[in-house]
Structure 1
Amino acid sequence: MSTEVRNQEPKIVWNHFADLNAVPRPSKKEERVIQFMVDFGKNLNLATIVDSVGNVIITKPATSGMENRKTVVLQSHLDMVHQKNSDTIFDFDSEGIKMIVDGDWVKAEGTTLGADNGLGVAAIMSILSSTDIPHPNIEALFTIDEETGMTGAMGLEGGILKGDILLNLDTEEDDEIGMGCAGGVDVTATRNYTLEETPKNTTGYSISVTGLNGGHSGMDIIKGLGNANKIMNRILFDGFSNFGLRISEINGGSLRNAIPRESFATIATSTDSKDYFLSKINEVINNIKAEFSTLEPNLSIEIKEITSPKNVMELSVQEGLIKSIYAGLNGVYRMSPDIENLVETSNNIARVIVKDGAIKIGCLTRSSSETNKTDLANSLRSVFELAGFNVDFSGHYPGWLPNVNSEILKTVTQIYKDIFKENPNVAACHAGLECGILGQNYPNMDMVSFGPNIKGAHSPDERAQISSTQKFWKFLQEILKNTPKK
């Protein structure tokens, strides 16, 4: 499988990508990929260091005739989102990604591909290992833990990098040049509850919500895709309101930055109203499917009779749980008043866990406005605290404010026009790039972001376009040839 990927053009990029994808690299477990990058740099006889938090920095001198150009920092993150379909047997901690070529696309078998941000890493590796590509002095910055907190970027100390320009290779549309991004904050609500013995004369059911598209909780939030946690809660709310449904367990969603694709619940209801309950719940299910028939054609919602669970959660806490999730905003909160079609502020109800007397609800709130990020986070906090939850804000990271007077932005935009004979889409994005964080310790560094077409990031549908990667590789080389002089 990887052989077919390695034969795609540009081979140097796809071969490095295949090498990288053979190394397990989940967020917060990057030890193996850090060592992989250290070995890579040292084998090229390039100066290679690992900083105090685990970021890898590899330095390469300018090629002949390029010494008078400004030093460029090439930056991508090493970790990847680990998601798989429920019926896929795969161990992310021990297996390399199984890649296939499907027409003009590279994708994985039932898992995320890791093109986010592996193709950026592979492109930087290609520049470092090249012998015939002109470039200025290069500082290659490979950050860790971008996907679950951006702790690598946050931990990078000022003064380590000497570069004047930073090229972030983590954008997912090949006609886009990024000039700004959203910041974010994790909003986590927790509460304990008393386990009660399930009432007598009840029937148990398992409810599953599967088959949703999922996707990136920033870039895809504008699409109005189904959120498995909200869909499950809608079913539970109806069953509770009309039939006194009791909840035993819920396991919904997975990662904070992925739109939840699946949710599973174990519940119990009175046996006396069994037929009527199933009839009404199936009405709700059919209504939901009809509403999402265009956006989510593969949505599956199943309810199956099982042995009644031994315990359920106490009634008052259950009511607060269901109503707070119903009231909590999920999706777009505010569009940008300054940039057309850009989401300014949003929230993703990413994770809902109810088990063994404990509840945890995890949200990721994003915004390019610090004040509106706080406003929405406080709105969510109020909803959950009214229901008796403890609420914690964590993982704050700033947005990247656009600089319309950026020298490198003007240079890169002109290069794009010259090569591709069209205007690029110069825009901010509703995703958490590391540029805003890096800019805190390097306020004078001039930054832009770009990359190849990657679809379905953070989901098992993730795929990278081969022809677009060729375009991206050509663009990167031209930028390095034409970086501004000192």
Structure 2
Amino acid sequence: MSQDIRNIEPKVVWNHFADLNSVPRPSKKEERIIQFMVDFGNNLNLETFVDHVGNVIMKKPATFGFENRKTIVMQGHIDMVHQKNADTVFDFDTEGIKMFVEGDWIKAEGTTLGADNGLGVAAIMAILSSTDIEHPEIEALFTIDEETGMTGAMGLKAGVLKGEILLNLDTEEDDEIGIGCAGGVDVTATKTYKEEETPANTTGFTIAVKGLNGGHSGMDIIKGLGNANKIMNRILFDSFTNFGLRISEINGGSLRNAIPRESFATVVVDTVSKEPFLFETTEVINTIKKEFSTLEANLEIEITEVIAAEKVMNLGVQEGFIKAIYSALNGVYRMSPDVDGLVETSNNIARIIVKDGTIKIACLTRSSSESNKWDLANSLRSCFELAGFDVDFEGTYPGWLPNLNSEILVIVENVYKELFKENPRVEACHAGLECGILGQNYPTIDMISFGPTIRGAHSPDERAQISSTQKFWKLLLHVLKNIPKKS
């Protein structure tokens, strides 16, 4: 399958992408991909080094005739989201991504594809390895841990780079030029509880919510897709009162930046209430499926009778937990008052774990407004603290404020219009690009973001469009030729 992909134009990009996808590269475990990138740079005899947090930097001189152009920073992140379908057998720590071609799209077999941001990284690698592409002096910045904390961008020190223009290649619509993005903060609620012996005369069940689309918790949050954690909580709500339902375990969602596709719960109900429980819960399930029939056609909610668990959650804690999840906002909090159609502030209830006397609820709150980011974060904090949880704020990062007077924006706009005979969309996005963070230590650098069309990022449905990648590559090559002269 990978050989088919290597023969697609532009071959130089797809070959580097296939090479990247042969190396496991989850966030927080980037040792192998860091070494891979270092070897790549050294083999090209480029100045290559790793900074104190793990970012890889390579420098390539300008080609003949471009020595007097401004130095550019080409930037992408080398980590990827590791997600797979529940029925997919795959070891992200040892296996390379298994890709295939379907029409105009590149997909992966039951896992994320890694086009976010592997295609951007591959394009930079293609420029670095080229001998016939015209370009100014290049500083290639390959950051780590973009997907789970942006610690690579946060850790990059001032003075490491001298470039005046930064091209971030992490936008996922080929007709979009990114000029701004949202910041974010991780909101984590935790609580310990005393497990109790499962009451006598109870029947055990597992409840599985699966088949949801999932997706990027920033870019896709406006779509109103199903959140497995909220759907599971809706099924559990009131059942402890009506049928003696007690929770033993819950395992819902995965990463903070992915809309939860699956949630699994182990519960017990009073045996005498077994049939009414199944009847009423089936009614709730049918209602939920009907509500989501347009957006989530593959939604499955299954209830299976099992041997009753030995331990369950304390009843008072359970009530507070269920009501807190019901009360906590998930989805869009506020639309931008300045940019039509842009989500300003949102929250994703991303991960819920109930096990062995501990509850953990992980959220990612995003906003292009610092004040509203903290307003929503404090709203969530209040909700969870009222239910007796401890709440921590971690991993906060700023947004990227648009600069409509950007020199590189004008250049990319004009090149796009000339090449494709249409106007690009100049937009800010509701996602956490690294530009806002990089701008803290490099406040004068002129930044822009663009890239090929990618669908379903952060989910096993992730796919990259072949024709769009060709369009992106053409745009990139012409932008490099039009970088302005040094002041």
TM norm. shorter chain > 0.5: yes
Which residue pairs with 2:29 in the alignment? Answer: 29
In the aligned structure 2, how far is the partner of 1:169 from the partner of 1:180? 13
Is the aligned partner of 1:448 residue 2:442? no
Q: Which amino acid aligns with 1:413?
A: E
Aligned residue pairs, count: 486
Which residue pairs with 2:356 in the alignment? Answer: 356
RMSD over aligned CA atoms reads 0.5
Which residue pairs with 1:319 in the alignment? Answer: 319
Is the aligned partner of 1:270 residue 2:236? no
Q: Which amino acid aligns with 2:151?
A: T
Which residue pairs with 1:46 in the alignment? Answer: 46
Which residue pairs with 1:199 in the alignment? Answer: 199
Check the 8 A contact 1:247/1:265 in 2, yes or no. yes
Q: CA deviation at 1:274?
A: 1.0
TM-score normalized with structure 1 length: 1.00
Q: CA deviation at 1:240?
A: 2.1
Q: CA deviation at 1:411?
A: 0.9
Q: CA deviation at 1:181?
A: 0.1
In the aligned structure 2, how far is the partner of 1:138 from the partner of 1:425? 26
Which residue pairs with 1:371 in the alignment? Answer: 371
Correspondence 1:376-387 to 2 at 5 A: 376-387=376-387
Q: CA deviation at 1:170?
A: 0.2
Q: Which amino acid aligns with 1:428?
A: A
Q: Which amino acid aligns with 1:344?
A: E
SS at match of 1:36: helix
Q: Which amino acid aligns with 2:378?
A: N
Q: CA deviation at 1:239?
A: 1.6
Which residue pairs with 2:140 in the alignment? Answer: 140
After superposition, the C-alpha distances for 1:78-123 in whole angstroms (9 at most, x for unaligned) are: 0000000000000000000000000100010000000000000000
Which residue pairs with 2:336 in the alignment? Answer: 336
Which residue pairs with 2:107 in the alignment? Answer: 107
Which residue pairs with 2:425 in the alignment? Answer: 425
Which residue pairs with 1:127 in the alignment? Answer: 127
SS at match of 2:352: strand
Which residue pairs with 2:477 in the alignment? Answer: 477
Correspondence 1:158-307 to 2 at 5 A: 158-307=158-307
Q: CA deviation at 1:241?
A: 3.6
Q: CA deviation at 1:243?
A: 1.8
SS at match of 1:203: strand
SS at match of 1:443: coil
After superposition, the C-alpha distances for 1:57-91 in whole angstroms (9 at most, x for unaligned) are: 00000000001100000000000000000000000
Structure 1 consecutive aligned stretches of length 4 or more whose deviation exceeds 6 Å: none
In the aligned structure 2, how far is the partner of 1:238 from the partner of 1:341? 36
Which residue pairs with 1:308 in the alignment? Answer: 308
TM-score normalized with structure 2 length: 0.99
SS at match of 1:382: helix
Q: Which amino acid aligns with 1:326?
A: Y
* Unmatched tracts of structure 1, length 5 or more: none
Q: Which amino acid aligns with 1:484?
A: P
In the aligned structure 1, how far is the partner of 2:358 from the partner of 2:261? 22
Q: CA deviation at 1:238?
A: 3.4
SS at match of 2:237: helix
In the aligned structure 1, how far is the partner of 2:277 from the partner of 2:458? 36
Check the 8 A contact 1:238/1:281 in 2, yes or no. no
Which residue pairs with 1:396 in the alignment? Answer: 396
SS at match of 1:464: strand
* Unmatched tracts of structure 2, length 5 or more: none
In the aligned structure 1, how far is the partner of 2:476 from the partner of 2:192? 52
Moved more, 379-388 or 233-242: 233-242
After superposition, the C-alpha distances for 1:180-216 in whole angstroms (9 at most, x for unaligned) are: 0000000000000001001110000000000000000
Q: Which amino acid aligns with 1:182?
A: A
Q: Which amino acid aligns with 2:7?
A: N
After superposition, the C-alpha distances for 1:114-159 in whole angstroms (9 at most, x for unaligned) are: 0000000000000000011000000000000000000000000000
In the aligned structure 2, how far is the partner of 1:369 from the partner of 1:464? 31
In the aligned structure 2, how far is the partner of 1:128 from the partner of 1:137? 11
In the aligned structure 2, how far is the partner of 1:376 from the partner of 1:331? 11
Q: Which amino acid aligns with 2:165?
A: I
In the aligned structure 2, how far is the partner of 1:479 from the partner of 1:470? 14
In the aligned structure 2, how far is the partner of 1:242 from the partner of 1:214? 31
Which residue pairs with 1:408 in the alignment? Answer: 408
In the aligned structure 2, how far is the partner of 1:60 from the partner of 1:385? 52
In the aligned structure 1, how far is the partner of 2:288 from the partner of 2:86? 21
SS at match of 1:457: coil
In the aligned structure 2, how far is the partner of 1:5 from the partner of 1:109? 14
